[in-house]
Structure 1
Amino acid sequence: MIFEDLPTTPTSEELLDKAFSRAARAGRAKSGVEAQESMLQTASNVLSDNLENVVTAWPDFDEVDPFYRELADAVVGVDEARTHLSEVTWASRKTKSLGREYIGRLPRDDPDLARKLRKQAFARMGSVMDEVEDDLQFLNEARDELKTFPDIRPDEPAIVVAGYPNVGKSSFVNDVTNARNEIAQYPFTTKAVRVGHVERDHIRYQLVDTPGLLDRPADERNAIEEQAVSALTHLADAVLFMVDASATCGYPLEDQLALREDVRATFVDTDDESDEDGVGFLTVCNKSDLSTDVEADAYMSVETGEGVEDALGAAIDATGYELELPTRD
């Protein structure tokens, strides 16, 4: 996952302590004006380099997969993150230029004046770091949020499982995928996101169960959740919408079908029937041992196991995914 390797962002105080302590050690190795010059160079380099490292650790949002970019925008705000990164870039360049400026002003034969100028430079570097204190804090908090994203891979075919709570989505994902399902949380929902994997014909498919996002009507989602759903539209190759015709899930079938149309409108471009790369959409009736009183593409009972593999096969077919084989020249 693109954000999982983001390092912890140091605070302004931590960077200043690091820079000035290293500068003090460098100064002790020399004497007179030379000591002051060494301290200036060391502090300037430590601050500038570490601030630059903060910025370069972040990916270019223009090159991030649209799925992760929209999630990042939903959680931390891409434009806001860019603004804070820009401020840190300014601070990196400013601390570098201050070092050069004051090194150029050092007298060759007056250690006392050199010490005074070095202290003045350190004070100005400290002021620069004070200016970006909030920027560094924002980036560290953003990093903590982004690292919690579930490890979903946009380059692998994905089946998004949707439907009202208690219709059997999680049980289905658990049943058909391996025992090492990944469970993570989107930062904007307290409910876990379950990602399971299943392999067919040497292709690994992801089954993504997103409680808190696709288990209620759009008008009940907040703005951040809506943007998260928008991000999922970049990911999905197929949507498996699960219904419970018996309504033992606690929701009338009529409401379930209304949600189905809501989800279908979100993921499927019904205005472009020629779109061969569109998202496949199928309705699966679970708890078929209790009722099949609904028109569906597949019927199954996770409880009894009947029809589960057929439903999974239909979902895989709905992705329309084909393995790209290398071609010979």
Structure 2
Amino acid sequence: MSHPFEELPNTPFGDELIDQAFSRAARAGRAKSGIDAQQSMLLTAANIISDNLENVVTGWPDFDALDPFYRDLADAIVSVDEMRKHLNEISWASEKATDIRHEYEGRLYDSDTDTARKLRKQAFARLADVVEEVESDLEAVMDARQELRDLPDIRPDEPTIVVAGYPNVGKSSFVNSVTRATNEEASYPFTTTGIQIGHITHEHIRYQLVDTPGLLDRPPEDRSEIEAQAVSALTHAADAVLVVLDPTGECGYPLDVQRELRDDIEGRFDAPVITVYNKLDRFAETPSVDRSDVDADADFLMSVVEGEHVDEVLQAAIDAVGYEPELPIDDR
């Protein structure tokens, strides 16, 4: 399965499209003579321009019909409203090229060869103007295509566990431990570091674990607008969230600050949030930590380094997802 932006169509530069249309038109004209040659050139050039522009527009998915995850993700990266404007302009240009063809076809039929040649040149000039008018729109769509088609493969229809928390609390170590090297590193346009995506299979169901450095590892006020939109996209994909905290303070963030981030995540995600305290093996070396306070706040305690309770945490996340595959109609 691929994401909806993986097969986006190539978008031509304006001057390339004009060159292609007029050179193909010249070849078509050489095969005929008189008014027929001018008609053939007009038809060829206008159709190439109109068809290519239409293909750019129809090759993009309907944003309103997308899974909310992908729609919000696209909005975070390229702005859906801006993309609609660019695509609408290109659609207008496609229709305008066809209108020009229709306008000049009748005039060519009613003229002599010399007049037909002049009219055809007028039509070519107008076609070129139309393409040049949407040149910036074509470039914007081209840039958007490049950014969106290389998105990592997070699948919102697959059971998804998002792993959150401040840097150096053990998120990546947990994902590495439970996925046993089945993870992948991939960069989103709105993060400074790669997002880690791991996969596990439990009772014949594949789950994806998503660790999102640069997004869910700092408070909301420190996120840019684009990053905030990306977090919104993740809320659509998450079926459960593991928030990992480091009670020892080795991560560089006080425990109360880590809890504030956890509270924000709980308020933002419409999914079960499990609070996991990592580095259980270091509690004895951290006398400033009130163990009873941690016990009262934690859903689970674990040590990824020592392998303590890691499997239990993973099973709790799977149970929280509560995913049941849809049975075929015959088996219901």
TM norm structure 1 = 0.94
| Contact 1:33/1:108, CA 8 A, preserved across alignment | no
Q: Which moved more, 1:319-328 or 1:194-203?
A: 319-328
Aligned counterparts, 1:68-79, within 5 A: 68-79=70-81
User: How far, CA to CA, are the matches of 1:196 and 1:282 in structure 2?
Assistant: 18
State yes or no: 1:5 paired with 2:7.
yes
State the partner residue of 1:183.
185
State the partner residue of 2:327.
325
State yes or no: 1:46 paired with 2:38.
no
| Contact 1:243/1:283, CA 8 A, preserved across alignment | yes
Residue 154 of structure 2 aligns to which amino acid in structure 1?
I
2:272 to 267, 280, 283: 280
State the partner residue of 1:172.
174
The superposition leaves residues 83-121 of structure 1 with CA deviations (integer Å, 9 ceiling, x where unpaired) of: 111111110011011112111111466211111111100
1:67 to 41, 66, 69: 69
1:149 to 148, 151, 154: 151
User: How far, CA to CA, are the matches of 1:315 and 1:157 in structure 2?
Assistant: 11
Larger helix share, 1 or 2: 2
| Contact 1:84/1:138, CA 8 A, preserved across alignment | yes
| Contact 1:298/1:314, CA 8 A, preserved across alignment | no
Paired residue total: 319
Aligned counterparts, 1:78-97, within 5 A: 78-97=80-99
1:231 to 233, 249, 252: 233
The percent of aligned pairs where both chains have the same amino acid is: 63
User: How far, CA to CA, are the matches of 1:3 and 1:289 in structure 2?
Assistant: 45
User: How far, CA to CA, are the matches of 2:75 and 2:144 in structure 1?
Assistant: 11
Residue 217 of structure 2 aligns to which amino acid in structure 1?
D
State the partner residue of 1:271.
none
User: Match of 2:73, SS?
Assistant: helix
| Contact 1:48/1:93, CA 8 A, preserved across alignment | yes
| Contact 2:9/2:55, CA 8 A, preserved across alignment | no
State yes or no: 1:289 paired with 2:258.
no
Residue ranges of structure 2 left out of the alignment (5+ in a row): 285-290
Residue ranges of structure 1 left out of the alignment (5+ in a row): 269-278
State the partner residue of 2:313.
311
User: Match of 2:117, SS?
Assistant: helix
Shift of 1:175: 1.6
Shift of 1:149: 2.0
Q: Which moved more, 1:219-228 or 1:288-297?
A: 288-297
User: How far, CA to CA, are the matches of 2:33 and 2:111 in structure 1?
Assistant: 12
User: How far, CA to CA, are the matches of 2:180 and 2:22 in structure 1?
Assistant: 52
2:260 to 254, 258, 268: 258
User: Match of 2:283, SS?
Assistant: coil
TM norm structure 2 = 0.93
User: How far, CA to CA, are the matches of 2:312 and 2:180 in structure 1?
Assistant: 17
What is the RMSD of the two structures over their aligned residues, measured on CA atoms? 1.4
User: How far, CA to CA, are the matches of 2:249 and 2:72 in structure 1?
Assistant: 34
Shift of 1:7: 2.4
| Contact 2:90/2:137, CA 8 A, preserved across alignment | yes
User: Match of 1:199, SS?
Assistant: strand
